[in-house]
Amino acid sequence: MKLNEKDLFVPVVNRDLRISYPELAKIEEFKGMRSLDVKFCWYYAIYFADIQDVSDRAKQAIANSYRNEIKQDDLNRFLRGNFSDSIKSGIRKFESFDIGSRIRAKFTAERMLDAFEKLARTDVDTVGVVKIYMALDQQMAAKGGEEPIGEKRDWNQVNAYVNSMVKINESLPGLVNVVEQGFGVAAKRQETVTGNIRDDHQRIKEEQHSMKKR
């Protein structure tokens, strides 16, 4: 599957992005911010980034983040592109993330885990085992298909294998954690974007107009 910017920090339904992606909880711009504010910043900065009109872009982001949980004054401000400083900082932070570098880091971490697994599955009885040949040139004898007369153990290789396994054991918990978080790159879309975007601005205008007639 081809990944793009919209596959970065994809929201999980009814869940704070900072819980889904602990990395975000450590970023200064998102500390102390309401969960819906973080989600709005994501939709505005990443998912609907290709919408040029600020009002339309904000409307789409609002419908998929705050939904009905936004005050009228805030709605009007947002549709004019008038965001608070914290929202502006959150948007800029999401815009700064590089999906390409994160995908490379994600795949590198997964390949490292695969390499660790292959090393761990090595038959320990074969580690450091070296075949012995009659000829003085052992390498030439092996290449020439000569039958070995015996085997010996290269304990330097054995020690190197043991040291590698110790290091793997120490590194594995951290590597698994990195792979699980995936640098914010989602394997698949986790939250469906609403298909019927509510036009809050128009609804409020209609309500105000109706009240004036009473």
pLDDT of residue 161: 79
- Judgement on whether residues 9 and 89 belong to the same structural domain of the protein: yes
Do 163 and 110 share a structural domain? Answer: yes
pLDDT of the residue at 105: 87
Query: What's the CA gap between 195 and 205, in Å, rounded?
Result: 22
16: domain range?
5-97+186-213
Q: Are residues 167 and 125 in the same domain?
A: yes
Same domain, residue pair 126 and 78? no
Q: Name 150's bridge partners.
A: 132
Q: What is the DSSP letter of 78?
A: H
Q: Are 152 and 109 members of one domain?
A: yes
Q: Which amino acid is at 142?
A: A
Whole-structure pTM over 0.85, yes or no?
Answer: no
Q: Over range 37-42, report the average pLDDT.
A: 95
The residue whose two tokens read 């698994």 is: 176
Please give the tally of structural domains in the chain: 2
Statement to judge: residues 115 and 168 lie in one domain: yes
Q: 84 with 109, same domain?
A: no
